[in-house]
Amino acid sequence: MSEDLVGRRRVGGQIRREIMQLILDRRLRPGSPLPTESELMDSLGVSRNSVREALKALQALDIVEIRHGYGTYVGQASLTPLVDGLTFRTLSQVDDDTHALGEILQVREVLEEGLIRRVAETLEDTELDGLEAIIERMEEKGRAGEPFPEIDREFHEALYVSLGNELVPQLLAAFWNVFHRVAGVRGWARDPAPAVTARRHREILTALRARDVTHAQRAMADHFRGIEARAWQGTLGVK
């Protein structure tokens, strides 16, 4: 790699960092307009092309949003780039993508085992009743032998609402989306035993109603071990 190319990459990275620092220093919120290209050129002392390259790179990270004909705005800084990166990482493991997917599931398991400890002793009865209603829908689907991925997702998102942490549902959704993107691309069949999945969620709720933190964590671990077993062993069923 030439020294000139290395230098341009280093400068590009510096410009991106300076634009991000500008956003932070001015306390700009998502949706707020950024300075114009000309203003950025003047304040950063760089060329128009350098500014444009930096903005395109930041757009890929959802840090800025370029609205052609209107200007550039602060982005949502969502976890979409993380989802895309993890999905690509998993699918790029051509010879062992089930192993890579199993690693993602392990990370999510660790996350949820820690989170459920936080909520196990603080969930209100009304919140537990809401989880009960979700599980009853799972059980109905389970008796009919019908998979219920969206209801499953709803349960896990509702479980941690009381934490008031906006990052939690975003992280859970990120891991969920990676799993289902990979499953869709690989043509893996859905959970072959919906009734078993419903029962595992029932065990989680039973422990939560009893305010039994240890049992709640164990029930959550059992739920994920079942998913991991299918991922690691390839029993999701490649068509």
Q: What is the mean pLDDT of the chain?
A: 86
DSSP string of 141-199?
A: HHHTT---HHHHHHHHHHHTGGG--THHHHHHHHHHHHHHHHHHHHTB---S-HHHHHH
Alpha helices in the chain (DSSP H): 3-25, 37-44, 48-60, 80-92, 97-120, 125-143, 149-159, 167-186, 194-209, 213-233
**pLDDT value of position 153:** 92
pLDDT at position 102 is: 78
Q: In the predicted model, is pLDDT for residue 239 greater than 70?
A: no
Q: Looking at the predicted structure, is the pLDDT value of residue 95 above 70?
A: no
Compute the average pLDDT of residues 120-145.
95
The pLDDT of residue 78 is: 87
The residue ranking higher by pLDDT, 22 or 192, is: 22
7-16, 18-27, 72-81: range with lowest mean pLDDT: 7-16
What letters, b where the CB count within 10 A reaches 16 and e where it falls short, cover 112-127? beebbeebbeebeeeb
- Which range has highest mean pLDDT (70-84, 91-105, 184-198)? 70-84
What are the CA-CA distances from residue 102 to residues 33, 98, 178, 226, 234 (Å)? 41, 6, 12, 11, 10
pTM summary value? 0.73
pLDDT tier at 91, thresholds 50, 70, 90: confident
